[in-house]
């Protein structure tokens, strides 16, 4: 018999990991874009720097929330839920 709750939890974990990878790739691309703009124009607007900083801070906060929920980093909390 299939335990749907455990199966759903595994799917949610995979989706969370995929989402985190996509967000981190987006952050890296925006930082690379800013570096290219600085090299080409030797200047960058304050607004662009503020947006990049907010994006990185929100990503770090999102990673912290996901880690506390036990969806990533295979912590003790995740293993306990699978046993139940």
Q: Which two tokens stand for residue 10?
A: 């595994």
Distances (CA, A) of 83 to 28, 47, 50, 63, 77: 37, 48, 44, 24, 10
Tokens found for residue 16:
């969370």
User: Does residue 38 fall inside a structural domain?
Assistant: yes
Better-scored residue on pLDDT, 59 or 4? 59
Domain containing 44 equals: 4-78
Residue 23 inside a domain? The answer is yes
DSSP secondary structure letters along 45-63:
-HHHHHHHHHHHHHHHHHH
Q: What's the pTM value of the predicted model, to 2 decimals? A: 0.62
28 in a domain, yes or no? yes
7-49 residue pLDDT tens: 887 888 888 888 888 888 988 888 898 888 888 888 888 888 8
Q: Does a structural domain hold residue 84?
A: no
Q: Write the pLDDT tens digit of every residue in 56-81.
A: 898 888 888 877 776 665 555 555 55
Cα 18 to Cα 11: distance, rounded to the nearest angstrom: 11
Q: How many domains does the chain have?
A: 1
CA distance 39 to 79: 47
pLDDT given at position 81: 57
């Amino acid at each position: 018999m299939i335990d749907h709750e455990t199966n759903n939890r595994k799917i949610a974990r995979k989706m969370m990991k995929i989402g985190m990878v996509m967000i981190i790739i987006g952050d890296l691309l925006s930082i690379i874009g800013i570096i290219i703009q600085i090299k080409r124009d030797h200047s960058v607007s304050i607004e662009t720097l503020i947006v990049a900083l907010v994006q990185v801070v929100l990503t770090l906060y999102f990673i912290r929330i996901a880690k506390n929920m036990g969806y990533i980093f295979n912590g003790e909390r995740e293993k306990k839920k699978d046993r139940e």
